[in-house]
Amino acid sequence: MRHFLETYKEMPDDLLIEQILAGNKALFEIIIRRYDRYLYKIGRSYRYSHEDTEDLMQEAFVNAYLHLQKFEHRASFKTWVSRIMLNGCYQLNQKKHRQAGWELQEHPEDHPIPLFAAGNKMDTNYTVMNRELNHILESALIRIPLSYREVFVLREANGHSVAETAELLRISEPNVKVRLLRAKAMLRSEIAKAYQPEDLFEFNLIYCDALVHRIMITIQTG
């Protein structure tokens, strides 16, 4: 199976989707592995636990598979599946607030997603996933208003274009640019210069394999 998937590993999303819709379900594993790290960053940026984030990712990928025929290619698949994940995160956020006894007041485009601007490149062996750095980052990020946090994770960590970010958040492209500039100005310069945004909330390969296994079982037996 691994050798079989390697044959399709570099295939563009559109062609992969055609193959999957034609009945080759196994190829959906490539889609999962291609985009799991982006969905993980979205979920973790909501301050959800690793376990909750994995559950949301599984739900998002299964929903994407079940509705794959509705993907119209007007946006990239990355944007489409990110929207599914964002909706799942927002719905869970609403549920948690209702359970706590009060209604969430923000609109879907106002959900909290913290991140920071890209800085200088670091040694490839360095990682930001340690307790001390996480504490420093969270202390800085908590002061950024919600409307700016969301732009950061989509633009700086997940690499969405201005147009894609505007579509995902349902705001104008100029608004995306303004929010991004203002958010950068809000963060401490030493954090912005020292760490790469793509290193935040990395989805470990061990977790990836387990998640892929669960999703593929759901798809194959569904």
How does pLDDT run across 17-36, given as a tens digit for each residue? 999 999 999 999 999 999 99
Q: What is the pLDDT of residues 40-92, one digit of tens each?
A: 988 887 878 899 999 999 999 999 999 999 998 888 999 999 999 999 999 99
pLDDT at residue number 124? 34
Assigned CATH class of 2-221: mainly alpha
Q: Evaluate whether 186 touches 144 at the Cβ level (below 8 Å).
A: yes
Give the Cα separation of 23 and 187 in Å (integer). 48
pLDDT of 178: 94
Summarize pLDDT for 124-170 with one digit per residue, the tens: 333 444 555 655 566 666 667 778 878 887 998 789 999 999 999 99
The CB density around residue 193, as the number of other CB atoms within 10 Å, is: 11
Q: What SS3 state is found at 22?
A: coil
Report the distance separating Cα 157 and Cα 144, nearest Å. 16
| 195/152 Cα distance (integer angstroms) | 14
> Once rounded to an integer, what is the mean pLDDT over residues 160-184?
93
CA 150 from centroid of its chain's CA atoms: 11
Are residues 179 and 105 in contact, defined by beta-carbon separation less than 8 angstroms? no
Residue with tokens 């706590």: 100
Q: pTM for the full model?
A: 0.71
- For residue 82, the model assigns a pLDDT of 95
Q: Phi/psi at 201 (nearest 5 deg)?
A: 55, 45
Q: What CA–CA distances, in Å, run from 65 to 14, 18, 76, 208?
A: 14, 12, 15, 17
Residue 89 · residue 111 · CB < 8 Å: yes
- The pLDDT value recorded for residue 138 is 61
Transcribe 27-42 into DSSP letters: GHHHHHHHHHHHHHHH
Is the per-residue pLDDT at 192 higher than 90? no
Task: Give the range with max mean pLDDT: 26-40, 86-100, 204-218.
Answer: 26-40
Q: How far apart are CA 220 and CA 62, in angstroms?
A: 11
d(CA 196, CA 128): 9
Domain ranges of the chain: 2-221
Task: Return the structure tokens found at 173.
Answer: 């492209």
H helices present in 103-172, as ranges = 131-141, 146-152, 162-169
Give the DSSP H or E segment for 80.
Answer: helix 77-99
